[in-house]
Structure formats: C-alpha cells, structure tokens
Amino acid sequence: MACKTVCWILILSCHAVPAFAGGDFLGRQLPEILTNGWVDLSNPDACAPSLQSLRWQVVLIEIWQTDIDPCTARVPKLRALYEQHADAGLKILALSPESQSTVEGYAHLHILPYTVGFGLHSDWEITQVPDAYLVGVGGLVVWQGHPDELPTEVLEEELARVNRLPAIDDARAFRSALKDIDKGKLGRAHGKVAKLAKKYRDEPAVREQAEALLVYLERLAEQHRLDAQRWIEEDCYFEALPILEMLEDSFAGIDAAEEAEDTLKAWKKDKRIKNLLVAGKMLAAARDLQASERYEEAQQVLQQVAMGADSTLLSAEANRQLESLSQTMAAQKQNEE
C-alpha cells in the first residue's frame, strides 16, 4: 500500500455498530478515516492512508468485524477484487473497530493482501447494513446502495479514469525520463519527454507515447495542485504544506512548481497563515496522542486550538474532536469501573 490519491471510493458497512458511519452521502464528501493503526502485510512500512491522500485513486473501503459472518463471508470476494483489479489501480481498505491484536491476528491468519485498519473511529451513523458508496473524482459520493449490487461496468469505468503511467513500447528512447519518474524527479522527466515529442514528431508511435506521458505528468501535477487548494480552502494549511513542498521539488520546471514556490514565499509573510500552520500541526499532534491513548494530553492540545486558532473552521474541527474525545474518555472510564 502506498500513499496515493483517490478517484473513487466504495464503502461497505457490514454490521450496525452505533459508532460507525453510513446514511445518505449522495453528492457529499465522506468523513476522513480515523483509526488506531493499520496492518499492511504487503508493505509494512507504508504511510497511513487517508481519503485525501488517495483522492485520485480507485479505493474500496469496507467496514467490517472479524466476528460477524456476513463480513467474513465477503473476505474471499475482496481478495478476488484485489487480485483482479489491483494492477489497474484499485486500492482496498478494510476498516474494523476491533483491537489491534484481533485484527492483526485475523490478517496474518488469512494472509489478507489488502490494507486493514483497526480501532476505527468515525462521525458516521449507520442507517442500513450493509451499505455501499461510490465516490467520484473530487471526493463526492456518486452512487450508493447494497454492496452486492455494485455493477461491474461502474467499477471498470471508474478504473479507466485513473491517471496511470502509460505503457511505453520503445523503452530505450524513454529510459532516462522513466528513471527520473522512478526517482520522483517529475519536472525533469517532463522536460526530457517534451524534447522527445519534438525529436520524434515524424514518428507517430514514439510521438504518441511521448504525448501520453506528458499528459500523465501534467495531470499528476494538477491533481496535487487541486489537493493543496482543497486543503487551503478549509484553512488546513498544515496539510497543504507538504503537498506544495513536493510540487516545488518534484515538479521543478513545470508551471505548478513555480506556482507552489510563489505560494510558499507568500505564506512566510502572512501572520494569519503562520498561526494556522501552528494550529494544524497541533491538531495533527492531538490525533497522534489519541491514537496512543494519551487522551488527557490530546484534550489539552485541542482546547488550545479551539480557543486560539484564527479560523472558525479549525476551531470547529478542534471542538468536534473534543466532543468525540470526551465520549471516548467517558466510555473508557465506564469500562474501567
């Protein structure tokens, strides 16, 4: 599993657990995923996935539990979907509210090839079980219904929209550019491919491959730019910062990189944005503290953000997390009693 971006998302709910999500999300965005951790047997060192980081990829998310028959009965179907469509860009995230030991044990016992989250938290409310949701480009739900009713043609159509590296027949001509892509030097690769498109303008096969590769790189830069812009519109400058820094470095030589550089320079002179960067960093720290069950420390950090952030959006997010955290702490205290 790698940190990529989301084209559409299918969400399945297998059991009516009050803390889970559901309901009518047609035309709306789904809440971000919050778990206590992840299990990825194929890539143990992978970064934690998120709907934002996967926004340009095809993602199947299934909410399940290891002790519920309708959920475990779907495991072979998920495995088949993964094996059939992973190379085409399908990403599967299976989310459970259960403990790390329970989920890790099940994942290792059944050698699950896809990514599994444990200790799921969410703002959703289940209205029917199971539920399925398809999220289109841009993060909005475009279809929902019973998971077994998902039309195969819809899945294939969405997979066809994923911005994937095009097949290159003449690898020798593109060897240097492809090496740059592997190294993350996408702007440099773009420059080399543009020269190849001109050099082989009288050779249609090579020229068309070069043009397809240019489109891929330009779309990739635009996707990252849109990701950053989406965060900025929500006053989430801390989340936008690494995207802009990546654009500035990896896409050097492309317009998107110059735009990112100018934006970052402007931020250094803006006191409000500096404040919001600190607030965003504190929210991220609070999430890490909650994942480590250091609830009182997380509560203190969230209270500081709620009172001090120069943003109604970030203050509201801090208050939302405080309310959720209070419920978690109350439940923990009740269990201890």
Give residue-wise pLDDT tens across range 24-38: 677 677 777 788 899
Q: Are residues 257 and 276 in the same domain?
A: no
**Structural domains of the chain, count:** 3
Which of 106, 135, 159 is a domain's end point? 159
Which alpha helices (H) appear in the chain, and where do they start and end?
69-72, 75-85, 100-110, 152-159, 171-183, 186-199, 204-233, 237-250, 255-267, 271-291, 295-308, 312-336
In a shared domain, residues 262 and 175: yes
Domain annotation covers residue 1: no
- The domain spanning residue 107 has which CATH number? 3.40.30.10
Residues 97 and 75 in one domain: yes
Residues 193-204, mean pLDDT to the nearest whole number: 94
Identify the domain containing residue 288 by its residue range: 271-336
Domain end (from 159, 186, 218)? 159
The mean predicted confidence, pLDDT, of the chain is 83
15 contact partners, CB below 8 Å, separation of at least 6: 63, 64, 65, 68, 70, 71, 129
Q: Are residues 89 and 13 in the same domain?
A: yes
Q: Are residues 242 and 295 in the same domain?
A: no
> SS3 of 148, please?
helix
Q: What is the pTM of this model?
A: 0.67
- Residue with token string 């980081």: 53
pLDDT in tens, 220-279: 999 889 889 988 998 989 989 999 999 999 999 999 999 999 999 999 999 999 999 999
What's the pLDDT tens digit per position in 35-94?
889 999 888 877 788 777 777 778 887 888 899 888 888 889 889 888 998 888 888 888
Which of 136, 159, 182 is the last residue in one of the domains? 159
